[in-house]
Amino acid sequence: MKIAVFSTKPYDRDFLNRANHALPNPHELIFHEVQLNANSALLAQDCQVVCCFVNDHLDAGVLQQLATLGIKLIALRCAGFNQVDLAAAKNLGLLVARVAEYSPHAVAEHALGLILMLNRNLHRAYHRTRENDYSLNGLLGFDMVNKTVAVIGTGKIGEVFATIVRGLGCKVIAHDPQPNPALVAAGVPFVPLAELWPQADIISLHCPLNSHTHHLINRDSIATMKDGVMLINTGRGGLIDTRAVISGLKSKKIGYLGLDVYEEEGDLFFEDNSNRLLQDDVFARLLTFPNVVVTGHQAFFTREALAAIARVTFENIDHFEQGELDQVCLVN
Ligand code: NAI
């Protein structure tokens, strides 16, 4: 099968090539560094499958172009699918498969990394000691034990994250329209958001981005949070109204912010932009706060996760070849 693989970096090619060559009948992979969008869709000509990542543009227009080119399957190399117009895909008869689970541990552990970094000011300590500065002013942290950590979204990643922070002695509260049975059994209270905001010392987002969760963190929800709350977002950028968060940081309502995702990350992340001027003034303002740590959508980025992404992507394509995917749009 001929597959157009978009938004690829050397590490993607490495893991996909290894998994492909281990197949009895390897596919023909056409790697493209560029994102899939209206200008690049033509690169999928002569292919049956496009393989995409988080910031590829799969809106109705691009999907129409792909359908016209004869593409039958969109194989996402990620868990989130908010970048795909699923209704349009269904109308066009395009199948959509994703890697629903590759390593919930990778993302949950990264969220913990952001929490500890912000709490103990590791990002500042790193620079101080390299400057021969061993002063402790401004580095004061807090014990994690007995702090209330709110987990929003208790699917695969939220469950692992909740388990990790419970191991640190934190009290976990959660919100999810479909409460995780294992966490319910473990005695984790599931509460409405209005009850969750004022209780939490740390809030970590692990729900998908959709019309219900867009700007879940906004001026109103921030107003009801504890003073000095820590916000962690490894979900999707659009869960947070960035301007409202900046106001919260300026007023000290928000004491710490850890982001692995950003609303407008599509034009920034996964690229070395160090020789370019940063044009996004909102993002630039975020980077000025000493109590903000941003990583560039790297929470998933472990060896185990990349190997699993490659393996499951080819399993999805195999199911498609065997005619085992529904004739309607599928998100497995
Ligand atoms: P999942 O599908 O296993 O769990 C999502 C959970 O969110 C479900 O339990 C669902 O009921 C819940 N949910 C849905 N609507 C909600 C709402 N309005 N409020 C609260 N909870 C709600 O997904 P998984 O694998 O745990 O991933 C979660 C998200 O993490 C993904 O949607 C994706 O956006 C993000 N992600 C980020 C990565 C990164 O590298 N930063 C990597 C992988 C995923």
pLDDT, tens digit (0-9, with 9 covering 90-100), for 54-91 = 999 999 999 999 999 999 999 999 988 999 999 999 99
Q: Is the CB of 234 under 6 A from ligand 1?
A: yes
**Encoded amino acid at 202, one letter:** I
Residue 98, both tokens: 């994703």
- Give percent of the chain above pLDDT 90: 95
Q: How far is the CA of 185 from the centre of ligand 1 (A)?
A: 20
Q: What is the pLDDT of residues 235-288, one digit of tens each?
A: 999 999 999 999 999 999 999 999 999 999 988 999 999 999 999 999 999 999
Burial class (CB in 10 A: 0-12, 13-18, 19+), 152: buried
Mean pLDDT of the chain: 96
Q: Please report the atom of ligand 1 found closest to the CA of residue 236.
A: 34
pTM of the model: 0.93
Tell which residue, 254, 248, 202, has the closest CA to residue 227: 254
What CATH architecture applies to the domain 104-294?
3-Layer(aba) Sandwich (3.40)
Q: How far apart are CA 48 and CA 66, in angstroms?
A: 9
Mutate which of 157, 259, 265, 298 for ligand 1? The one with the most ligand atoms within 8 Å of its CB, which is 157
Distance of CA 116 to the CA centre of its chain: 19
Contact 76, 102 (CB under 8 A): no
* 45: number of Cβ within 10 Å: 12
Handedness of CA 278, 247, 234, 215 (dihedral sign): negative
Distance of CA 243 to the CA centre of its chain: 20
Q: How far is the CA of 276 from the centre of ligand 1 (A)?
A: 33
Q: How far apart are CA 116 and CA 119, in angstroms?
A: 5
The number of C-alpha atoms within 13 Å of 314 and in the hemisphere containing its C-beta is 21
| CA Rg value for the chain | 21
3-state class of 1 per DSSP?
Answer: coil
pLDDT at residue 330, as a whole number: 55
Residues classed as catalytic: 236, 265, 297
The enclosing H or E element of 229 equals: strand 229-233
CATH number of 2-102+302-327: 3.40.50.720
- Residue holding tokens 């992979």? 29
- Where do the domains of the chain lie? 2-102+302-327, 104-294
Across the range 199-205, mean pLDDT stands at: 99
pLDDT at residue 151, as a whole number: 99
* 277: number of Cβ within 10 Å: 6
Q: Is the CB of 154 under 6 A from ligand 1?
A: yes
- Residue holding tokens 């529904």? 326
pLDDT-derived band of residue 328, with 50, 70 and 90 as boundaries? very low
pLDDT at residue 157, as a whole number: 97
Q: Is the CB of 216 under 6 A from ligand 1?
A: no
**Would the pLDDT of 25 be above 80?**
yes
Burial class (CB in 10 A: 0-12, 13-18, 19+), 203: buried
> How many helices (H) does the chain have, and how many strands (E)?
12, 11
Q: Is the CB of 177 under 6 A from ligand 1?
A: yes
pLDDT at residue 325, as a whole number: 77
Q: Is the CB of 236 under 6 A from ligand 1?
A: yes
Q: For atom 2 of ligand 1, which residue has the closest CA?
A: 155
**Encoded amino acid at 188, one letter:** V
- Give percent of the chain above pLDDT 70: 98
Q: Is the CB of 254 under 6 A from ligand 1?
A: no
Contact 200, 229 (CB under 8 A): yes
pLDDT at residue 54, as a whole number: 92
Q: How far apart are CA 289 and CA 293, in angstroms?
A: 8
Q: Please report the atom of ligand 1 found closest to the CA of residue 175.
A: 20
Distance of CA 79 to the CA centre of its chain: 8
pLDDT-derived band of residue 324, with 50, 70 and 90 as boundaries? confident
pLDDT at residue 332, as a whole number: 47
Contact 257, 249 (CB under 8 A): yes
